Every structure is written in structure tokens, then in C-alpha cells.
Amino acid sequence: MNFIQFYNELSQTNLDFSEFAIKNTDAQPFFIEGANLFEPDLAKYAFFIDEGVILKYHVSPLGKILYDNFYSRNSIIGLFPSVSYFDDYFEFTTLGDIRGIKIPLTALNSYPENLKNTLLFKNLQRELFWKDAIARMLGLNVHQKIYYILSIIYSFRGLHSWDNTYSIPKYITHEVLANIANVSRTRVSYVMSGLQKKNIITYDDNNRLVILDIDFLHENCGY
């Protein structure tokens, strides 16, 4: 799968649905200030993210918290119900300010069938892709986990005009990488420092991570 092309198609598909919902339902803008717990009413609404990042965590009955998914610009939360296991549940947290559209799920009833099928199919592909990514990481060591995560995120990169390398979105911090890999932030910083010394990664003037040698990450991520 070409993930750059897929992400662009998914973004446009979700944007089309949000515009339809705004015109044809009582969809309303929503705003969340700062880093907070996000408690969406997923029984009645889907949430289109126009700005910001939301992390989704899987919480076990014993209180163990594992990273499950993330949603950024043009993503939709709530098209599919979370799959719960016994007494487990899911929790959403925001990384800074969030702006978006709160869409009644009833909007799906009047959405043209062919567009609805595309909407659901592409969003399901996205969910399964990240679920598969998490499952694969379970058997990797710390270095391999970080290399694998960076390789995946690299697929969603933006081209840097000044040197034809690719920057990683600024919200992908060491803390976020630690949450995804389920390791400490200190260990992530250690791995990233090693990569920087080997000239595998660097940071631009805006402190965004830039991957210089994606082949190294691909060859050493355990796959």
C-alpha cells in the first residue's frame, strides 16, 4: 500500500463527509483547550478532527495503559465502535488544543450509499493498519520498536523544500513515541540520541525531526 496516497485519499474522503454533515445535519464545531481527557459520546456522534492530535489508549482492569491509536487532521473518531475485551475500556487524551466538527451518526443514514461505503472502507483500513502496527511491535526490542514507528510515520511525512529530506510532524515528540512503544521516555531519548550521532536523523530549525536515512530504519526494525 502506498500510504502517502492512501492518507491523501482518506483525508479527502473524511473532509467530504464532514462538509456533507455540516450542510445537511445539525453538526456543530467543538473545541478542547490544552492537554485534557477527551470523553466523546460515541453512541451518538462521530468527531472530525480539523486541528490537533488525540491519542487513544487501551486500559485494562488492572490499570495497565497501552497506546492504541492516534487521530490527527482530517481523521474521524467514532465511525466504528471500539472493540472492548471483558472489563477493558478505551480512553482518549488530547495533545494541545483541538478543533473539529461534532457529527451526528444519523448523518450516515442520508449519506449517498457509494460515498458511505468508501468512507467506512477507508477508515476501517486506517484502523486495521494501526492495529497491525501495534501487534507487530509486541515482539520487538526497544530499538526495533522506535525504528519501526519512525518508518511508519515516515509514510505520512511532508517534503522539506530546503534539502529534499522529510520532516516528521512536530507533535511526534519523545513522549508520544514512548507512549506508542510502551517504553519510558528516557529510553526513547537514548535511542534517538544514538540515531542522531549516526546521522540517521536530525532536527530542523523548527525542532522537527527529519529522517536522513530511512533505509537504515527499514533494515534494522526487525522486518
Q: What is the pLDDT of residues 104-135, one digit of tens each?
A: 999 998 999 889 888 988 887 887 677 666 66
Give the C-alpha distances (Å, rounded to integers) separating 62 from 90, 92, 146, 178, 184. 13, 18, 26, 20, 19
Number of domains in the chain: 2
Domain boundary, last residue among 67, 101, 136: 136
Domain extent at residue 172 = 139-220
Share of the chain above pLDDT 70, in %: 78
CATH number of residue 34's parent domain: 2.60.120.10
**11, 98: one domain:** yes
- Dihedral over alpha carbons 175, 79, 133, 98 (to 10 degrees): -20
Q: Give the count of beta carbons closer than 10 Å to the beta carbon of residue 14.
A: 22
Here the cell at position 218 is: 527499514
- pLDDT for the residue 223: 57
**131, 69: one domain:** yes
> What is the arithmetic mean of pLDDT over 172-191?
84
Here the cell at position 102 is: 461534532
**59, 95: one domain:** yes
Residue among 134, 18, 135 nearest 77 (CA): 18
Beta bridge partners of 93: 37, 55
**122, 154: one domain:** no
- pLDDT for the residue 70: 81
Backbone angles phi, psi at 32, to 5 degrees: -125, 125
**31, 101: one domain:** yes
pTM of the model: 0.66
Domain boundary, last residue among 84, 107, 136: 136
Cβ partners under 8 Å of residue 91, min gap 6: 37, 56, 57, 59, 65
Helix H or strand E encompassing 56: strand 54-59
- pLDDT for the residue 32: 93
**84, 179: one domain:** no
Query: What's the CA angle centered on 169, arms 59 and 46, to 5 degrees?
Result: 50
Domain boundary, last residue among 89, 116, 136: 136
Q: What is the pLDDT of residues 32-44, one digit of tens each?
A: 998 888 998 888 9
Q: What is the pLDDT of residues 22-73, one digit of tens each?
A: 999 999 999 999 888 899 888 899 999 999 889 888 777 776 666 677 888 9
Name residue, grid cell 534494522: 220
**107, 58: one domain:** yes
- pLDDT for the residue 162: 45
- pLDDT for the residue 216: 92
Residue 165 confidence class, pLDDT cut points 50, 70, 90: low
Whole-number Å distance between alpha carbons of 104 and 119: 15
Query: What's the CA angle centered on 138, arms 133 and 144, to 5 degrees?
Result: 80
CATH number of residue 172's parent domain: 1.10.10.10
**132, 175: one domain:** no
**129, 146: one domain:** no
**195, 95: one domain:** no
- pLDDT for the residue 68: 72
Whole-number Å distance between alpha carbons of 40 and 32: 11
- pLDDT for the residue 159: 47
Of 5 and 71, the structure prediction assigns the larger pLDDT to: 71
Q: Give the count of beta carbons closer than 10 Å to the beta carbon of residue 27.
A: 20
**125, 177: one domain:** no
Average pLDDT, the chain: 82
Whole-number Å distance between alpha carbons of 189 and 95: 19
Q: Strand 37-38: give its sheet, edge to edge.
A: 37-38, 89-94, 54-59, 65-71
**49, 111: one domain:** yes
Residue 85 confidence class, pLDDT cut points 50, 70, 90: very low
